[in-house]
Chains A and B, each alone.
Chain A
Amino acid sequence: MFEPAAIALIPLLPALAGALTLLLGPKILKQQSHWPLIIACVGSFLISLLGIQALTSPTLEIRQIVYQGGTWFATLGSNPVSVGWDFRLDPISAMMVPMVLFLATVIAVFSIGYMKDDPAYPRYFGVFSIFVAAMTLLVLSDNIVLLYAGWEGVGVCSFLLIGFWFQKPSALKAARKAFMVTRIGDVGLLLGILLLWSGCGFTLQIPTLIEKAKLLSDEYLYLAGFLLFIGAMGKSAQFPLHIWLPDAMEGPTPVSALIHAATMVTAGVYLIARFLPLLTMSPDLLLLIAVIGGITAILAALIALTQNDLKRILAYSTMSQLGYMFMALGAGRSDISGHSLVTFAMVAAMFHLFTHAFFKALLFLSAGSVMHSMGHVIDLRRIGGLRTVLPFTHIAFLSGALALAGVLPFSGYWSKDEILVAIDSASHGPNRDGVYKILTWLGLITAGLTAFYTFRAYFLAFWGEVKIPVEALSHGQHGHENDHGYASTHHEVNHDPYGSVSDPTKAHESPWIMTLPLLVLVPAALGIGALFGPTHRMMDFLGSAPGFHADHGDHSASKWVAMASQVFGLGGIAVAFLLYVAKPGMAVSIRKMAGSGYNLSLNRFYLDEILTILFVRPLQILGWLIQALDRELWDRLVDAVARIPAWLGDKFRPVQNGLVQFYALAMALGLTIFLVFLAFGDRLFR
Chain B
Amino acid sequence: MELFAAGQPGLFRFEYFFALAIGALGIYLLLPSPRGKASVAGSIATLGSLGWLCFLGLAPGGFTIETGLFHLFAALALVGAVFLVTQTNPARAALSFVMVVICVGGLMLLLAAPFLMAANMIVYAGAIVVTFLFVLMLAQQDGPSDADNRSREPGLACFTGLALSASLLLLLQRDQDNADRGLGQMKALNAPVAELRLKQEQTLRREANGRPTAPADNTTFLGQTLYTTLLLPVELAGALLLVATAGAILIAQRRPGTEVTP
Contact = CB atoms under 8 A, between A and B. Distances in A.
B167 A679 contact: yes
B152 A672 contact: no
B156 A676 contact: no
A676 B167 contact: yes
Given A665-B157, A665-B160, A668-B160, A675 B152 contact: no
A676 B169 CA distance: 10
Contacts of A676: 167, 170
Interface in B142-199: 152-153, 156-157, 160-161, 163-164, 167-168, 170-171, 174
B203 to A, nearest CB: 36
B24 to A, nearest CB: 13
Nearest to B162: A672
A679 B152 contact: no
A661 interface: yes
Interface in A665-686: 665, 668-669, 671-672, 675-676, 678-679
Contact of A672 (B153, B156, B164, B174): B164
A659 interface: yes
Interface string A563-590: 0000000000000000000000000000
A661 B160 CA distance: 12
B166 to A, nearest CB: 8
B167 A672 contact: yes
Contacts of A671: 164
A675 B157 CA distance: 18
A301 B153 CA distance: 96
Contacts of A675: 164, 167-168, 170-171
Contact of B170 (A661, A665, A669, A679): A679
Contacts, number: 30
Interface in A634-686: 659, 661, 665, 668-669, 671-672, 675-676, 678-679
A654 to B, nearest CB: 15
Interface string B123-135: 0000000000000
| A interface: dominant SS | helix
A679 B174 contact: yes
Contact of A669 (B153, B160, B171, B174): B160
A148 to B, nearest CB: 68
Interface residues on B, range: 10 to 19
A669 B160 CA distance: 6
A679 B170 CA distance: 7
Q: Of B152, B157, B164, B167, which is in contact with the most chain A CB atoms at under 10 Å from its CB?
A: B167
B167 A665 contact: no
Interface in B19-72: none
Given A679-B171, A679-B174, A659 B163 contact: no
Interface string A347-364: 000000000000000000
A534 B170 CA distance: 109
Nearest to A677: B167
Contacts of B153: 661, 665
Contacts of B152: 659, 661
Contacts of A665: 153, 156-157, 160
Contacts of B157: 661, 665
A362 B55 CA distance: 116
A668 B163 CA distance: 9
A679 B174 CA distance: 7
A661 B150 CA distance: 14
B170 A668 contact: no
Nearest to B167: A675
Given A659-B152, A661-B152, A668 B171 contact: no
Contacts of B167: 672, 675-676, 679
A683 B117 CA distance: 41
Given A659-B152, A661-B152, A672 B160 contact: yes
A320 to B, nearest CB: 92
Interface in B204-219: none
Contacts of A678: 171
Contacts of B156: 665
A593 B164 CA distance: 105
A593 to B, nearest CB: 102
Contacts of B174: 679
A393 B161 CA distance: 103
Nearest to B174: A679
B155 to A, nearest CB: 11
A668 to B, nearest CB: 5
B157 to A, nearest CB: 7
8 contacts: A661-B152, A665-B153, A668-B161, A672-B163, A675-B164, A675-B167, A676-B170, A679-B174
Given A659-B152, A665-B157, A679-B171, 20 more contacts: A661-B152, A661-B157, A665-B153, A665-B156, A665-B160, A668-B160, A668-B161, A668-B164, A669-B160, A671-B164, A672-B160, A672-B163, A672-B167, A675-B167, A675-B168, A675-B170, A676-B167, A676-B170, A679-B167, A679-B170
The 9 A-B residue pairs whose C-beta atoms are closest, nearest first, are A675-B167, A672-B163, A679-B171, A672-B164, A668-B160, A661-B152, A676-B167, A679-B170, A679-B174
